[in-house]
Structure 1
């Protein structure tokens, strides 16, 4: 004999699945915001200091930190996917948003000469989009405020010499990724 769920039971199961998927992405979300926040802030500051205050020929050397960070993020994401008990449309969408933005970030770096080396401003704008959408999907206001901070930093970067954009980029990442990332982590999300 086939058992049928009542309307209330069905809604309860659906709500539990959505809450579990949301919790999975809130927990992993803080990891990504903190990982990339620290890596990008350190790379921006290192690049700024070397470019502004030394004659070192390769101030972009700090950006090599993104390679092990990318490997760590991929490993962590793979591990999270395997451990996730529930995969919902929301959880897939969250990952797809950041994957699409990652492609855009990469393209802006490849073609930075075509955008007059204003890649910092473009990257901050794109990071703001991902942060804003994450904040809306997770219903977490600090991420939305973080996105606004990233967009403000992007506007400032468009109006500064390239070297100074790295300092503003570091401040934007602090306000847009690290502060919301730690708030997300402390909220148990």
Structure 2
């Protein structure tokens, strides 16, 4: 025999389910921002320092992107496979960043055609992703991170290719790491 639920019991169940979906869907949002913020900041600033030190192969530092990519894909796959709830917002964010990743790969493959002025273009792509993410999750600090990246792209267009790496490194700290740590520290308050 099924028990009839009172309106307060029904409301409590619905409220609990909404809270669980919200917690699952919201995540803390910081993992990828912190991972890529650190990796790309280190690579940009490392490249800049090695080039200024006249190291013959400053671009070797970019090899750090390979294990970071593998780890990022592995972490994302595990998180998605364990998720109890999948929202359309998660799917939208995922598709936006996949599109940006593909666009970055295209830009990188045409570095010689761009005269190695790829950093400002990549900063602009990251700016679009951050601003869209901040808008979707409704966190102003993330949107501001996108604006910081866009402003850094403008600066990068105006400096030498070598100095673009310095601008890129600083932009990643301010545009990715600051919002990433903000999301990590405020996650429990938002959920």
Deviation at 1:169, TM superposition (A): 0.3
Task: Give CA deviations for 1:16-50 in whole Å, capped at 9, x if unaligned.
Answer: 475235323xx2x2010000000000000110011
2:85 aligns with: 86
TM-score for the superposition, normalised by structure 1: 0.88
Q: CA RMSD in A?
A: 2.3
CA distance in 2, matches of 1:75, 1:154: 30
Structure 2 Cα separation of the partners of residues 42 and 57 of structure 1: 18
Query: What residue is the counterpart of 2:22 in the other structure?
Result: 19
How far, CA to CA, are the matches of 1:133 and 1:21 in structure 2? Answer: 20
TM-score (structure 2 length as normaliser): 0.87
Distance 1:18 1:123 in 2: 34
Q: Summarize deviations over 1:56-87 as a string: whole Å, max 9, x none.
A: 22111111000000011011001100111101
What residue in structure 2 maps to residue 48 of structure 1?
A: 48
Aligned to 2:160: 161
Q: How many residues align?
A: 183
In the alignment, what sits opposite 1:38? 38
Q: How does 1:44-83 map to 2 (within 5 A)?
A: 44-54=44-54, 56-83=55-82
- Structure 2 segments unaligned to the other structure (5+ residues): none
Consecutive aligned runs of 4 or more in structure 1 exceeding 3 Å deviation:
8-18
- The match for 1:116 is 115
- Structure 2 residue aligned with 1:175: 174
3-state SS, counterpart of residue 69 of structure 1? helix
Does structure 2 conserve the Cα–Cα contact (< 8 Å) formed by 1:20 and 1:86? Answer: no
Deviation at 1:141, TM superposition (A): 0.8
Secondary structure, aligned partner of 2:187: coil
